[in-house]
């Protein structure tokens, strides 16, 4: 056990335990503060030292001796391509400096091929030499997991956003409960279709994304549980590309003239909507998707998309930055973190 270097001015009173009691913190926190060790928030450290002074433990000159937190350099590593929501997230992370200055975390963003695990892994290791922490949308693949574990051994913190990575040394995940999001989409789909028959399709970015796989599973389970008369026709991958999604949708409509609904699990739903419009099916085939962007806003307004599930961009960035600050300062990873909520958006409640 570490012994404090300080000796109370009035021997026998007070003790570290007394300071902890009056300050409302643990004795371990008091010991860290009195010895100027990192791992305590600046405001808490000032409070503890003020209490120690008032109790006669410290001279006044020691009150403001708390060192400030060091700058933490963070990278948001996000998929390149046509996913407008992810591009907006990247822009937000790079430009929200005024809102993030209080955490002393400097953010930059970079893009990488979101469907290539080898490139993602090599980029993680390369950028880990330049940053204290990396936030990224994970691909569920052993080589990515190994890169994250190597970074952890090197002292580089990683946080997964939107899609998580199982059995890895990442520090935290910031995003929706994707299985619950899929179940929500399934419940809405069944209620919107509101009849006893019809076919429903799913178009994802890639099953390499655990988040997309979890949405698929949640959607399937609730459809089988609550709407067994609706026929799921399997999942197709569109790689968050509008042209690919357009082609996939055209093929689905040709194969299944009674296609009642499409769940867009990933990005670029505008390709799906265009195919529905070109086939004059925008009013008869339900479209449910993810991510509020200028494109999806327009789709909701013109009626070609029915429901949108959204994860707040600003909250995603701030939560990620706070996690990095907590890790730097030795606090609980989730201290001050707001739970990520699934927002259900329709044309009538557009923010």
User: For 39-51, what is each residue's pLDDT tens digit?
Assistant: 677 678 778 888 8
**How is 158-204 classified by DSSP, letter by letter?**
EEEESS--TTS---EEES--HHHHHHHHHHHHHHHH-SS--EEEEEE
Name the average pLDDT for the chain.
Answer: 90
Q: What is the pLDDT of residue 102?
A: 75
Mean pLDDT of 167-194: 96
pLDDT at residue 36 above 60?
Answer: yes
CATH of 178-310, one of 3.30.56.10, 3.40.50.2300, 3.40.50.720, 3.40.640.10: 3.40.50.2300
Burial of 89 (0-12, 13-18, 19+ CB in 10 A): buried
Q: Are strands 199-204 and 231-237 parallel, antiparallel or unpaired?
A: parallel
Q: Which CATH superfamily is domain 1-68 in?
A: lambda repressor-like DNA-binding domains (1.10.260.40)
pLDDT tens, position by position, 222-278? 999 999 999 999 899 999 999 999 999 999 999 999 999 999 999 999 999 999 999
Give the CA distances from residue 231 to residues 56, 145, 247, 309, in Å, rounded to whole numbers and listed in that order: 75, 36, 21, 22
Most confident of the following: 57-61, 183-187, 313-317: 183-187
> 72-175+313-340 and 178-310 share one CATH topology?
yes
What pTM did the predictor assign? 0.79
Fold topology of 72-175+313-340: Rossmann fold (3.40.50)
Radius of gyration, alpha carbons of the chain: 25
pLDDT tens, position by position, 288-347? 999 999 999 999 999 999 999 999 999 999 999 999 999 998 889 998 898 899 999 999
Please say whether the beta carbons of 32 and 2 come within 8 A: no
CA–CA gap between residue 259 and residue 189 (Å, rounded): 12
pLDDT at residue 67 above 90?
Answer: no
């Amino acid at each position: 056990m570490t012994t404090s270097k300080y000796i109370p001015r009035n021997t026998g009173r007070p003790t570290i335990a007394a300071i902890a009691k009056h300050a409302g913190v643990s004795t371990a926190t008091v010991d860290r503060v009195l010895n100027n060790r990192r791992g305590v928030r600046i405001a808490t450290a000032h409070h503890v030292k003020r209490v120690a002074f008032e109790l006669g433990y410290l001279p006044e000159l020691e009150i403001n001796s708390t060192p400030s937190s060091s700058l933490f350099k963070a990278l948001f590593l996000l998929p390149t391509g046509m996913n407008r929501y992810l591009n907006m997230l990247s822009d937000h992370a790079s430009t929200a400096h005024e809102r993030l200055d209080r955490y002393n975390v400097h953010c930059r963003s970079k893009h990488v091929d979101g469907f290539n695990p080898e490139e993602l892994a090599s980029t993680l290791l390369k950028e880990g030499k330049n940053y204290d922490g990396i936030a990224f949308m994970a691909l569920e693949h052993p080589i990515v997991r190994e890169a994250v574990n190597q970074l952890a051994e090197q002292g580089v913190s990683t946080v997964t956003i939107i899609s998580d990575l199982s059995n890895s040394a990442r520090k935290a995940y910031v995003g929706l409960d994707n299985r619950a999001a899929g179940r929500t989409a399934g419940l809405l789909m069944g209620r919107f279709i509101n009849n006893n028959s019809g076919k429903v399709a799913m178009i994802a970015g890639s099953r390499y994304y655990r988040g997309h796989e979890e949405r698929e599973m949640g959607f399937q389970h609730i459809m089988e549980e609550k709407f067994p008369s609706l026929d799921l026709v399997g999942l197709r991958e569109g790689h968050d590309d509008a042209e690919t999604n357009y082609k996939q949708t055209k093929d689905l409509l040709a194969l299944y003239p009674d296609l009642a609904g499409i769940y867009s699990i990933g990005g670029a739903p505008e390709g799906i909507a265009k195919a529905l419009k070109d086939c004059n099916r925008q009013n008869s085939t339900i479209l449910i998707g993810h991510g509020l962007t200028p494109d999806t806003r327009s789709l909701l307004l013109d009626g070609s998309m029915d429901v949108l599930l959204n994860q707040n961009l600003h909250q995603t960035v701030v939560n990620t930055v706070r996690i990095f600050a907590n890790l730097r300062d030795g606090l609980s990873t989730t201290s001050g973190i707001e739970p990520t909520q699934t927002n259900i958006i329709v044309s009538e409640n557009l923010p």
